[in-house]
Amino acid sequence: MTEPDLTRRPDAPGRTASGLVRSWAQTLATHAVLIIIAIAGLVLAIGLTVASGSIYGAVVENDGIAALDQPTLDQAVQQRTETNVQVVTWFTHLGGPVGMTIIAAIITAVMIWRWRSRTPLILMVIAVAGSLTLTTVGKNLVGRARPPLEDAVPPYEYAFSFPSGHALNSTVIAGIVAYLLVRRLKTRRAKVLTVVIAAGWAIAMGLSRVFLGHHWLTDVAVAWLIGGAWLAVLITAHQLFLATRRRSRRAPDRTTGITSS
């Protein structure tokens, strides 16, 4: 006995059920594309992190940009005052694990509520997971010591220094927020301002780490580079995801010949 094809049921409940199944299948398929591309991009970004170990070779040889590490730290120490140290310390805490988690959660929740979309949550989770992975891989791979404690501002940090987690995570989170906002904003001026604010946040966060003596300049520079690369992967993956979903919606239903809308 031949099993009935439920997708061809003529009654209304059957059409509704089959429509939901096709919709869910398309949603899962297109989100799978985003996740697969993001994973592939993360592998490439990890490769970049591994390759950045060669920059640490320059640190050891004290040439290239690494030659600026000690002079930059010395200049930062000279510029410190009680007031600016307090202000920069407060600011740098915003880029820490607790601060950035709270900020990212609030912004993501507002976007989900305002836009009635799961996209901010999906992209933010992938972005943060990748960022933390890249930070951990980089620190364990290179194992570079932080600047001397006598040149640092309390509270002291003892984890490996290269790359700067504050700078990398701030670059990725601020970048993904800016990307999501730019897609919704209407005017060019608003879009440019959003990008400038996001870039300013990431740059200021990285420099705060150098100013307080918690990182060398090269730790921050590489963090910006890796964070920017991971951000580019995420944006590219999301654009490919959107293109796949648009094609899926335009594709005709094989059972009815009707194009999805």
* Dist CA 67 CA 153 (whole Å): 22
Q: What is the pTM of this model?
A: 0.75
Averaged pLDDT, 121-146: 89
pLDDT at 64: 57
**pLDDT exceeds 80 at position 137:** yes
What tens digit of pLDDT does each residue of 31-53 get?
A: 565 566 666 666 666 666 555 55
What tens digit of pLDDT does each residue of 198-232 get?
A: 999 999 999 999 999 999 999 999 899 899 988 98
**Domain residue extents for the chain:** 25-250
pLDDT band at 14 (very low <50, low <70, confident <90, very high): very low
Phi, psi of 71 (to 5 degrees): -60, -40
Helical (H) or strand (E) element with 142: helix 119-142
pLDDT at 79: 93
DSSP string, 74-119: HHHHHH--HHHHHHHHHHHHHTSHHHHHHHHHHHHHHHHHHHT-SH
Q: Kindly give, in sequence order, each residue whose CB lies less than 8 Å from that of residue 89, ignoring residues fewer than 6 positions away.
A: 153, 212
The two structure tokens encoding residue 191: 């879009």
Kindly report which listed range (19-33, 74-88, 164-178) carries the lowest average pLDDT score: 19-33
* Dist CA 251 CA 259 (whole Å): 6
**pLDDT exceeds 70 at position 177:** yes
Contact present, 167 and 202 (Cβ < 8 Å): yes
**CATH classification for the domain delimited by 25-250, as one of 1.20.144, 3.30.160, 2.60.40, 1.10.287:** 1.20.144
CA torsion 253-237-169-200 (nearest 10°) is -110
Which residue, among 150, 152, 145, has the nearest Cα to 213 in the 3D structure? Answer: 152
Q: How far is CA 132 from CA 12, 13, 39, 168, in A?
A: 49, 46, 14, 9
- Greater confidence, 102 or 40? 102
